[in-house]
Amino acid sequence: MNRNLQQEELLRIATQMNLEFRFPAGIHYERFFRELKETGRIMGVRCPECKRVLVPPRPVCGECFVRTGEWVEVGPEGTVIAYTSIYFPFIDGSTGKPRSIPYGAGLIQLDGSFSAINHILEEGDPGKLHIGMRVKAVLKEEREGNIGDILYFKTIEPEE
């Protein structure tokens, strides 16, 4: 053994970068969040050409390249079209920190919507999650006008 290596203390330098930023919601997200906050409704927009309802709402239909028009309410129930159980969390943009694990997340196609949104699922057990399961949005009591106003999607027990 190299005696020098044994004697010298080796340091580990720890540091933390906290990146805070702000971004404009834009016309469509702004209305989406305002509706969510003030009325608790989840809103999409319909493409006048292909008639698809896009959620979250956006100014242009990605298929038809035309401006979207009519605002329509969707959900609050929907169907899980993809899911995952998360054990290695990504950073939650509202807190800057990872969520506690494990938790379920999925793509939820809200009733009346063509597109799906990515959100937290009440159910996190991979043995109980399945494609096609019915879920319902659970909203915060005191809503602030951001995506966290939808707390998660709870499982709706199938009717006997």
In the complex, the residues that contact another protein under the rule CB under 8 A are 5, 8-25, 29-30, 33-34, 91, 93-97, 145-146
Q: Smallest distance, Å, CB 122 to another protein?
A: 25
- Evaluate the omega torsion of the peptide bond into residue 24 and state whether it is cis, within 30 degrees of 0: no
Q: Smallest distance, Å, CB 123 to another protein?
A: 27
Q: Of 14 and 160, which has the nearer Cβ to another protein?
A: 14
Q: Of 27 and 81, which has the nearer Cβ to another protein?
A: 27
Under 8 Å between Cβ of 55 and 42: yes
Which amino acid, residue 150? I
Q: How many Cβ atoms are within 10 Å of 74's Cβ, its own excluded?
A: 23
Distance (Å, whole) CA 40 – CA 145? 10
Q: Of 1 and 17, which has the nearer Cβ to another protein?
A: 17
Q: Smallest distance, Å, CB 25 to another protein?
A: 4
Which amino acid, residue 98? P
